[in-house]
């Protein structure tokens, strides 16, 4: 074996993606949903929770964090059983670019030409939670304050802390383009 062959074997043994969990895609004829493994959970800023995802998605390393303000608790005027909390998706350089571009490809949407590094603000409606608060389902709203329908998106984020699972579920494929626009920082 020549030097290049040995180097290739050594590099593959120490590859940065060797122990990185693989995201699972559930793609049926209508929806494209993704299950990510949560790789880190931290408490920040007096009760905010950061869920970090560092996974392989469609052969690419994707990285982002979801921050949820666990202290916030606004009740819905229409349905007092639904609580609203704020959240945001923290961008993380090339890993976030890979996430947005891979999601665009999965959604059959043109990949954005540029991706801004601004965090994406979310409003989350907590739809369901278990008694100990380790598992919850939310509906996420992106650009909820806009009148421009091409920029507004809804999707579901489900978290199971015990299983280290963060799910992104489509609400409606009609929100694919606005979601990619929002994630890329287009205003």
- Domain count of the chain? 1
Evaluate whether residue 168 is within a structural domain.
Answer: yes
More confident residue, 111 or 35: 35
Evaluate whether residue 97 is within a structural domain.
Answer: yes
Helix (H, G, I), strand (E, B) or coil at 50: strand
The candidate with the shortest Cα–Cα distance to 89, out of 117, 65, 53, 116, is 65
Read off the pTM: 0.84
Q: Which tens digits make up the pLDDT trace of 55-90? A: 999 999 999 999 998 666 676 666 667 888 899 999
47 Ramachandran zone, left/alpha/beta (phi>0; psi -120 to 50): left
Evaluate whether residue 24 is within a structural domain.
Answer: yes
Q: Domain range spanning residue 49?
A: 19-183
- 6 pLDDT band, cuts 50/70/90, is very low
Residue 175 pLDDT more than 90? yes
Evaluate whether residue 55 is within a structural domain.
Answer: yes
């Amino acid at each position: 074996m020549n030097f290049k062959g040995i180097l290739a074997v050594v590099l593959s043994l120490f590859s940065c993606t060797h122990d990185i969990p693989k995201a699972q895609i559930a793609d049926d004829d209508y929806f494209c949903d993704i299950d990510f493994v949560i790789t880190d959970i931290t408490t920040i800023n007096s009760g905010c929770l950061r869920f970090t995802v560092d996974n392989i998605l469609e052969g690419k390393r994707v990285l982002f964090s979801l921050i949820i303000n666990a202290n916030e608790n606004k009740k819905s005027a229409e349905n007092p059983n639904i609580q609203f909390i704020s959240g945001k998706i923290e961008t993380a350089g090339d890993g976030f670019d890979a996430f947005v571009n891979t999601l665009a490809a999965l959604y059959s949407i043109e990949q954005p030409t540029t991706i801004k590094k601004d965090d994406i603000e979310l409003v989350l409606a907590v739809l369901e939670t278990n008694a100990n608060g380790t598992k919850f389902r939310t509906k996420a709203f992106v650009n909820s304050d806009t009148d421009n329908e091409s920029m507004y998106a809804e999707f579901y984020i489900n978290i199971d802390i015990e299983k280290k699972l963060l799910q992104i579920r489509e609400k409606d494929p009609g929100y694919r383009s606005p979601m990619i626009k929002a994630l890329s920082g287009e205003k």
